[in-house]
Structure 1
Amino acid sequence: MKSLQFKLYRYIFFAAIILSWQLVLHAQTLSINEFMASNSSTISDEDGDFEDWIELYNYGDDPVYLEGWGLSDDFSNPFRWVFPDIAIGPGEYLLVWASGKDRKQGVLHTNFSIDASGEELLLVHPSGNWVDVVNPIAVPTDISYGRKPDGTGDWFYFDEPTPGLPNVTEGFYGILPPPEFSHHGGFYEESFNLILTHSDPEAIIIYTTDGSNPTTANLSGKTYFYKNQYAFYPDSEDGELLVNQFMSNVYSSPIEIVDRTPFEDKLTHKATTVQTPNYFPEEPVFKGTVIGAKAYREGMLPSQTASHTFFISQQGRSRIPLPVVSIAIQENYFFDYEKGIYTPGIDADDWRVSFPDQPFSWPFPGNFHRRGIDYEYFGNMEFIPEDESFSVLNQGLGIRIHGGGTRSFPMKSLRLYARGVYGENTFGYPFFKGSEYDEFKRLILRNGGQDFLTTHWGQGENPQTMFRDAMSQRLVNHLHFDIQLYEPVIVFINGEYWGLHNIRERYDKHYLERVYGLHSDSIDLLTMRNDPIEGDNVHYNQTLDFIEENSLSDDQNYQYILTRIDEKSFMDYQIANIYLRNTDWPGNNIDYWRKRTEQFTPDAPYGHDGRWRWLLYDTDFGFGLVGEPKSYKHNTLEFATAVGLQNWPNPDWSTFMLRSFLENEQFKHKFIIRFADLLNTCFHHQYVLQTIEEMKSTITPAMEEHFQRWSNWENLETWDAKVNVMREFAINRHNYIREHLTDFFELDSKVVINANVSHPYHGHIKVNSIEIHGDTPGVDVNPFPWRGYYFKGVPIELVALPAKGYRFSHWDGDYASNDSILSVNPEGDFSVTAHFVTTGEELLVYYWLLDNQLANDMPLEEIQPHYSIAGGAKIDFISCMPDYPYYEGHQYWRMGSMERRNEPTPLNYRPAGNNDLPYNESAMRAIQIKQPLAFGDNVSSLLLHLPTPDIKDPILRFAVKDEGAAKGLLIDYSTTEEISWQSLRNSNTIPLTDQYQLVELDLSNVEATYDNPHLKVRIRFISDNPWAQNEKRVIFNNITLDGVVCMAYTLKSLAEDNGQIFPSGIMNISCCSRKEFLVVPNANHIIENVWLDGVSILDDVEIIDNFYGTYLFESPYKNHELRASFAYAPWLFGDNNSVVVYPNPASDALFVASENEINLIQLHDLSGRLLYEYDCTCNNHKLNLFNFNTGIYLVRIFTVKEIFTRKVQVLRPAF
């Protein structure tokens, strides 16, 4: 979409030209008579598509021959589309589709479409003269803009467009904007008066409080009929038609917004099933107030409806513990006996008339089974995240009922449509945490599917978990097929609490366009056996025919099929459903797709190669929903390969492909290994249990109120019992799957592999298809040594993958090799270790790639690195300006600031830090440090945080140039936690020029910078007048830190009884580490000895105050162990020394040691104010003093025997 500013510039530029050609315009008899810039449902083209259109009208007496005429939406390109040899007779209309399809034979289509937000339209004579011009104007969906009378009249908006016909319907001079609300929809703690206003003083505001569409035609109210009881059995009592009403109001005074919870519910006591409703809440539900408002005025099109929902509660936003979706919809669209789609209604009674002797049967008849655009109703949606009090998205939408048989459940799934006719074309918000997507055409508010409250096998209740499908899909979201994202929300309908729903993605053409960038014209999307949703099934049927006629046991046939079917997608999809025990599959709930291509294109982006891939959805039958008890025993592999069955759930056609693939030995081996890999990772019972608990804990705070709304659960314990079925499935399923694999493929016994690495920092191992590191679902953050279960006689491949700065050395253990790829045909359990060594080569550690992702025209405070192999790096800007940064409009706005600048340079560009991409100037930017560089006594500086864990020989590099602000840079560094700046000899002053130069700060000779978490570099500016404010600047670009990886080792530090070592435990160190240890006896004890790898180093321990000691450990060269022992020596300390506080005075830390167990430690100032408190069960404690000032303090130590008080002096360094 062109920017408004750009359009304005163009309009002004061409205005003079338009005025100069007025005589030409009036000399013609052909005009742009009517056009539509957003066509949702008005008229379709020959393809059935609802495209933009332009109507031309010849209002003269002679035909006009159009060959060579131009039609355009661009002032600068008037012949963007040129007419073919065609004529338009006098008094005739010509409809041209502005579709972008560019067709000149038959029905005409331009090569452009019209921007609904407003752009010019031009009709141009072959001579170049402009015959007609329409200036940019916004036109809403399904509204046209045209002349009345035809050809020469004024321009009007038409809500009844007449493409190809005279403009005789009522025309409107303009479109009113919506009313304005004094308050935004969301949560409030107190009642208030809502004020509605409008910019047009002659407009009247019509409003509603019941979700209905505000209209002047409904000021007296409109009634509708609904029904709450149906004859489920032939002899059951039938209910009567009941009546309800909704109405509009003329706004004349403020509307009182209060907590409506005590008021009687209007919607929750309406039947939504053919069963006798036992789901009506016993008490009124929590309610908000929905206000819809619309502006009207004679001669103008009414505004769109503005709608806001207001929740009043003393708890404010915390009243609802999940995101909120508030739906406003005219209630008869849901509950009217004849047209409502949320109710059984007339369709249920019609079924009863047709089958008078039968009970209602699954999936139970009702209006809720109606499908298609005719049963899509207009509504409004607001979305309030759990961490926001007010809605962040508020827009009109279309609403349908979603699902299959679950439409007959009390609480139904809703399908949400964003269309231009309702307002916005997309839902523009990132609903799903952790997802990159922030625009959606379709969404589902899912009720949990089969995992809702009741079963469909009768009228008995069988409550379930409501997150089973979402949990199942989360387990496999990294596999080679698509899953639907999930976000649990609480839904309100017309302000009334409706319950827990799950926002889910919908698979359709819009999904494939959003995720894979594929237009609907280029996809085949099929469902079930081979039913087209988009495109056709020709390629798929040809694939099936080939498999039927050519056995895949032949590798040549199999390789051909791999050019038509994505092996990984098919395999993972089959494995996932089998593990999940999804028995509403494979003869149901299957969708698959491909990009339409003439042939397989292996080098195309993922999803564009023309092969079939699968989409996972509706796995509710899995994970123990059906088949209790002990559903985890079900042999779903046998089920998915069954032969000869004709009906749901696994007819012969649905198992044919897997059976055929398993005829191939390559696929069979990959299938077994892949299944084993996943059983060891994402299907590992501990990971599955963790996933269940995480998802359960998210919705637990909301469940009690949900239960009360639907009156189907007694308490949380009942619900947790259903969740426990999932837990039992998780604990047991993997063992039974291994049994099923063994039996089905006639495998030998299970084998255990133990894989390890020389050090976790050195690298990791890939076992078959899975990489053993913390980013792989189901693998621990610290995975080594790793254990996996496989099968005897089934070959396994292990690959050693070095970390950056390392290279593979060798394997040892039960198998030895110098090749990084180790192939094993296991005959029994085995153990191997991959060894790595450092390369000794310089390595990129951090890279600040300054590109167009940086905010523009904004003062910046901090920049994170684009590339990093460690954590904690950043650039802070310390401005000389007080209270920086400032808001726009402040007198100091963008003064003394760090900002983005468009000054790219290849100097020091590092492809290794940018996915190995070549330098691309168009995407590169820079940062600028703007004048003033000093304000009063303050100076501006850059502070680079450059931690170097296991890195030595660090070198800082960057490109820099001056643009009149400074003549040089002053650079220093600090290596301590409390900053202490130091300068490098001959390197701290850098002269600047007006051309980029490469600056290099080599710290490789400063050992204190090695393996240092506190390394910082400061850059200041040398200027003759740093206080100047002349819009001058210094430019930085491509900032990097390089270094050499230090060989990593492990150190185990431990203390025997009666003392401690700080730090203690198992820790990672490196050959460039310098680590100080503190050895602390308990009170009345002394250090007896300290050993390093079994050798006494007591002589290297510095004993302080004849009590504790420090030891500096340098240059590790292998895995080490440090151990300390202590001896009882009370005669050395005198009386009252069962508690010791040291050192005294203290600067960085204070240690407390006690012969008896300590329960509580407190630190007070001399006024008695408590400054620090620590509950413990210990004999030693370290108290950091960084947050305390120099002074005298009292330490109180509460032991199991008595309370001690010690006075200590703290001396903090001055800076």
Structure 2
Amino acid sequence: MMNKPIISVAVGFGLSLGLSLSSQAGNGLPPRVWAVDPPPGTISELLAITVTFSEPVTNVVVTDLLINGQALALAVTGSEAVYTFTFAQQPPYGLLEITWDPGHDIRDLDDIPSNRMDENDPANRWSYRLVDLRAPTVAQLVPAAGTTVRQLSQIEVRFSEPVAGVDAADLLINGQPATNLVVRGVGRYLFQFAPPAPGPVQVQWAEDHGITDFASPANEFEGGAWTYTLDPLAGLPLVRLNEFLAANVTGLKDEDGESSDWIELWNYGSTTVNLGGFALTDDPDDPTKWTFPPTNLGPGQFLVVFASGKDRRVVTNAAHRFHTNFRLNRFGNYLALFNNESPPVALTEFAPQYPEQRNDHSYGYDSAHALRYFATPTPGAANPPSDITNVAPKPKVSVERGIFSQPFTLIASVPMPGLTLRYTTDGSEPTATTGQVYSGPLQISNTIVFRVAAFGPGMLPSRTETHTYLFVDQVLHQPNNPPGYPAGPTVFSGYPSDYEMDPEIVTNAPAAVRASLLALPVLSIAIKIDDMFGATNGIYTHPEPPAAQRYLWERPCSVEFILTNGQTAFQVDCGIRIQGNASRTPVKTPKHPFRLFFRGDYGPGELEYQVFPDAPRKRFNSLVLRADFNNSWVHWDPGQRLRGTKVRDAWTKYSFRDMNGLSGHTRHFHLYINGLYWGVYDFGERIDADFAANYLGGTRDQYDAIATKPLEAIDGDLTAYNAMVSVGRNADMRQLTNYNRIQQLLDMTNFIDYTILNFYGANRDWGFDNNWNAIRRRSPDGKFQFVPWDGEQLVVDVNDNRVANTDVPAGLHTNLVNSPEYR
């Protein structure tokens, strides 16, 4: 075999990690890391790491390189002996230990057999100390610097990062300090002052300001100056909010391939307008919620902005567009375009809210400046004529949803003459061309889902009214081949359908089964059959899409929650997906969990109802419908079926709350899909920023929410989490100073109780990257709290013992236990 010395690696790379320059390929030794760039030591920036091996290698993948035990790289490029790992965002400041995934398969190319790199070789490990040397800067001003404004009594400043030491007197207007300061958010401040005299206005930071970031040591804000021209006689810019689409289902897609809502601006004047500092908002109390960067809009030009919530102000590609930090609500909300003055002036304002919208219909001004609905939206172009001016009123029914034992007469009506009512009984929504025309009273004697809507000329269709009428005696005899539904040995992703109420159970104890069906509340899902069970589009028949594509498998539906006394708790139109991981797999269980999404695309942006009687929370943007998987009656493992109880997860949540911990809640119910009985489920809460804000106060944007395998945050970001685990895993906890450090980042009482609970229950399905959640308020004194998730594998066997197991969430306990204080 020919030896191939590496002779070019010294060019453009960092320090050697201790290997001789004589390292060669084909020497029978495993490859090693020869050099890295940046070199080990103290650095102020880390967006990429270039690794030069001692010889050409293969099988290098993006998850091989670990920073403090986490695979944070976004991509890896290279070949032969040189590879570069790049990161989407910089890791947290502090000590960064660089290691390799124990499961890597990096091997040399020139030896037969090939040699695998030893990740435990000290030559293949190194560290950085990433220090924050960046001073905070002004990221955005409202009004934008250098602009002409008609009024000026306040200036909003958004810093590039969280800062401390901000006072009103730090900002000088014509040499005079501001008189009042309002904190609008993290790094966002509103300085208020008496209006200056017309003409040039000089603004600068006081030389003795005390503004710094939170680095250690802190970096001081450098200050600066800028000007405005105050001209009370200047006219308002001739730009308006011309058209918007609040329920984009099949229309214009953004650069991510998603049908995001959008807003169109139009310059109807004769001069170019710089939109820098202009703002779009859905909150009358926050007129500068989303501000434009400097952007010219020429005479007669249109500009389309996606109202997606993705908050993108930098456009790097002609095919991309701006994205606001809020979404639109289909059923009406405040919406406005403000100019760049301070205080700002509304150029277009829908107040108190715009009217109700419909899927794929836009709303805006026609050529006569009259507001209309448009059946054909025209983003980026003039709006066509339209005669759609209103929305049909919602129908009413004579009998509310519920559980029945006797037939009854159902009457539908609408409080406007000349409209047509159409209804369906198969779960789908009626349209102007589908469903049956309602012509008179209906006799109801069997379980049905009745959906009715009103239609008329020059009007958008009404909202659909949905009512489920359940006859329990009929449910007892539910067949295995209900009409209109796919049935057979392979229709559920290659596995058999199973609709039937098992005769061997029902016939032996019909009274007990009937009583059981009446003992719990009912959740009824009404959905188009093809959307749930279709061979191509059904979410139940395609339960395992790739994780990155799960959002594509969300379908519209109606859900009704009926209490045991027959009263309606709520009815809401929402989105539905399959939920979970292993519980999605048909070979493991035929009973899959769901997740409901309450969005303006379907109905109200939130569900407003106290779902859990033992919890004060009354607002939800999502709910999990838990089916139970492990230790359930339908599990693939017969041993687990014998342990089926459907109480373990609830016990875990209740127990942690009794320990004064934060936990989700449980409420069991019977689930029906289009009137077909689907089993006992229970509501669960997703542990996200919305959950944290509801139970700990504040708003969702004030929280980080982290879950298992945190390659990205559920909400917020990973900055504080990475800093916490860096200390928690790596610092010597025998030293009191290090234990005190971790206590500033982790709620230790909470974490100890959380760990004790899982040890006590000997949780079999819990570990380093398995079934845990943590939340933290995004503030300098915020600490992570761990929250139980998925308690189906606790209290399984009296001989189970997890105390000595080192596979624990985020790898914290195994290092913390070295601290006498922790023990």
TM-score range, shorter chain: 0.5 to 0.7
Name the counterpart of 2:302: 93
| 1:502 matches 2:682 | yes
Name the counterpart of 1:658: 813
Q: Which of residues 459, 481, 485 is equivalent to 1:300?
A: 459
Q: Which of residues 515, 525, 539 is equivalent to 2:705?
A: 525
3-state SS in 1 of match to 2:822: helix
Answer whether contact 2:279 2:288 (CA < 8 A) is retained: yes
CA distance in 2, matches of 1:296, 1:436: 40
Name the counterpart of 2:265: 56
CA distance in 2, matches of 1:69, 1:550: 48
Q: CA 1:541–1:382 in structure 2 vs 1: closer, same or farther (change >3 Å)?
A: same
Instruction: Give the CA deviation at 1:61.
Output: 5.2
Name the counterpart of 1:191: 407
Instruction: Give the CA deviation at 1:522.
Output: 3.8
Q: Residues 587-629 of structure 1: CA distance to partner in whole angstroms, max 9, x if unpaired?
A: 41122232233x4x2xxxxxxxx222211011111212xxxxx
3-state SS in 1 of match to 2:373: strand
CA distance in 2, matches of 1:452, 1:203: 50
Q: Which runs of 5+ in 1 are unaligned?
A: 1-23, 219-247, 261-287, 346-364, 602-609, 625-630, 642-649, 669-1215
Name the counterpart of 1:580: 761
Q: Residues 988-1042 of structure 1: CA distance to partner in whole angstroms, max 9, x if unpaired?
A: xxxxxxxxxxxxxxxxxxxxxxxxxxxxxxxxxxxxxxxxxxxxxxxxxxxxxxx
Instruction: Give the CA deviation at 1:335.
Output: 1.5
Q: Residues 873-899 of structure 1: CA distance to partner in whole angstroms, max 9, x if unpaired?
A: xxxxxxxxxxxxxxxxxxxxxxxxxxx
CA distance in 2, matches of 1:76, 1:638: 54
Instruction: Give the CA deviation at 1:542.
Output: 3.2
Instruction: Give the CA deviation at 1:51.
Output: 8.6
CA distance in 2, matches of 1:79, 1:572: 43
Q: Which amino acid aligns with 1:448?
A: D
3-state SS in 2 of match to 1:342: coil
Instruction: Give the CA deviation at 1:204.
Output: 1.5
CA distance in 1, matches of 2:314, 2:548: 39
| 1:571 matches 2:749 | no
CA distance in 2, matches of 1:620, 1:458: 16
CA distance in 2, matches of 1:317, 1:422: 35
Q: Which of residues 403, 422, 442 is equivalent to 1:255?
A: 442
| 1:35 matches 2:250 | no
Please identify which structure carries the higher strand content. 1
Q: CA 1:139–1:437 in structure 2 vs 1: closer, same or farther (change >3 Å)?
A: same
3-state SS in 1 of match to 2:720: helix
Q: Residues 90-120 of structure 1: CA distance to partner in whole angstroms, max 9, x if unpaired?
A: 2201346789999999888999998863558
CA distance in 2, matches of 1:122, 1:636: 57
Name the counterpart of 1:117: 332
CA distance in 1, matches of 2:374, 2:723: 49
Answer whether contact 2:450 2:466 (CA < 8 A) is retained: yes
Q: Which of residues 455, 465, 477 is equivalent to 2:657?
A: 477
Instruction: Give the CA deviation at 1:553.
Output: 1.0
CA distance in 1, matches of 2:286, 2:777: 34
Matches within 5 A, 1:1000-1011: none
Matches within 5 A, 1:546-557: 546-557=727-738
Matches within 5 A, 1:860-1009: none
3-state SS in 2 of match to 1:178: coil
CA distance in 2, matches of 1:460, 1:83: 57
Q: CA 1:530–1:154 in structure 2 vs 1: closer, same or farther (change >3 Å)?
A: closer
| 1:467 matches 2:647 | yes
CA distance in 2, matches of 1:656, 1:82: 41
Name the counterpart of 1:637: 803
| 1:616 matches 2:797 | no
- TM-score (normalised: structure 1): 0.40
Q: CA 1:550–1:423 in structure 2 vs 1: closer, same or farther (change >3 Å)?
A: closer
Answer whether contact 2:450 2:468 (CA < 8 A) is retained: yes
Instruction: Give the CA deviation at 1:163.
Output: 3.6
Answer whether contact 1:342 1:367 (CA < 8 A) is retained: no
CA distance in 1, matches of 2:697, 2:253: 25
Q: CA 1:484–1:60 in structure 2 vs 1: closer, same or farther (change >3 Å)?
A: closer
CA distance in 1, matches of 2:277, 2:688: 41
CA distance in 2, matches of 1:79, 1:524: 24
Name the counterpart of 2:723: 542
Instruction: Give the CA deviation at 1:375.
Output: 0.7
Name the counterpart of 1:404: 581
Q: Which of residues 310, 313, 324 is equivalent to 2:469?
A: 310
Instruction: Give the CA deviation at 1:515.
Output: 2.1
Q: Which amino acid aligns with 1:137?
A: Y
Answer whether contact 1:55 1:164 (CA < 8 A) is retained: yes
3-state SS in 1 of match to 2:767: coil
3-state SS in 1 of match to 2:821: helix
Instruction: Give the CA deviation at 1:571.
Output: 0.7
Q: Residues 623-681 of structure 1: CA distance to partner in whole angstroms, max 9, x if unpaired?
A: 12xxxxxx212222123x3xxxxxxxx3xx7584212111111111xxxxxxxxxxxxx
Q: Which amino acid aligns with 1:590?
A: W
Q: CA 1:410–1:198 in structure 2 vs 1: closer, same or farther (change >3 Å)?
A: same
Q: Which of residues 137, 157, 164 is equivalent to 2:373?
A: 157
Instruction: Give the CA deviation at 1:199.
Output: 2.5
| 1:667 matches 2:822 | yes
Instruction: Give the CA deviation at 1:333.
Output: 1.7
Matches within 5 A, 1:396-435: 396-407=573-584, 408=586, 409-435=589-615
Q: Which amino acid aligns with 2:800?
A: H
Q: CA 1:213–1:455 in structure 2 vs 1: closer, same or farther (change >3 Å)?
A: same
Instruction: Give the CA deviation at 1:76.
Output: 12
Answer whether contact 1:140 1:420 (CA < 8 A) is retained: no
Q: Residues 146-168 of structure 1: CA distance to partner in whole angstroms, max 9, x if unpaired?
A: 1234xx44322235544433335
Instruction: Give the CA deviation at 1:206.
Output: 1.5
Name the counterpart of 1:377: 555
Name the counterpart of 1:335: 533
Answer whether contact 2:241 2:265 (CA < 8 A) is retained: yes
CA distance in 1, matches of 2:681, 2:626: 5
Instruction: Give the CA deviation at 1:468.
Output: 1.9
Q: Which amino acid aligns with 1:341?
A: I
Answer whether contact 2:608 2:619 (CA < 8 A) is retained: yes
Answer whether contact 2:728 2:816 (CA < 8 A) is retained: no
CA distance in 2, matches of 1:395, 1:54: 26
Answer whether contact 1:139 1:145 (CA < 8 A) is retained: no
Q: Which amino acid aligns with 2:538?
A: G
Q: CA 1:83–1:509 in structure 2 vs 1: closer, same or farther (change >3 Å)?
A: closer
- TM-score (normalised: structure 2): 0.57
Instruction: Give the CA deviation at 1:80.
Output: 11
Count of residue correspondences: 537
Q: Residues 823-858 of structure 1: CA distance to partner in whole angstroms, max 9, x if unpaired?
A: xxxxxxxxxxxxxxxxxxxxxxxxxxxxxxxxxxxx
Q: Which has the higher contact order (CA 8 A, sep 6+)?
A: 2
Instruction: Give the CA deviation at 1:494.
Output: 1.0
CA distance in 2, matches of 1:405, 1:76: 45
Instruction: Give the CA deviation at 1:398.
Output: 1.0
- Identity among equivalent positions (%) equals 31
Q: Which amino acid aligns with 1:179?
A: P
Instruction: Give the CA deviation at 1:367.
Output: 6.6
Answer whether contact 2:632 2:640 (CA < 8 A) is retained: no
3-state SS in 2 of match to 1:490: strand
Name the counterpart of 2:364: 146
| 1:393 matches 2:393 | no
CA distance in 1, matches of 2:398, 2:301: 51
Instruction: Give the CA deviation at 1:582.
Output: 0.7
3-state SS in 1 of match to 2:619: coil
State the superposition RMSD in angstroms: 4.4
CA distance in 1, matches of 2:279, 2:563: 50
3-state SS in 2 of match to 1:633: coil
CA distance in 1, matches of 2:810, 2:573: 43
Matches within 5 A, 1:760-839: none
Name the counterpart of 1:1107: none
CA distance in 2, matches of 1:428, 1:589: 28
3-state SS in 1 of match to 2:803: helix
Q: Which amino acid aligns with 1:593?
A: I
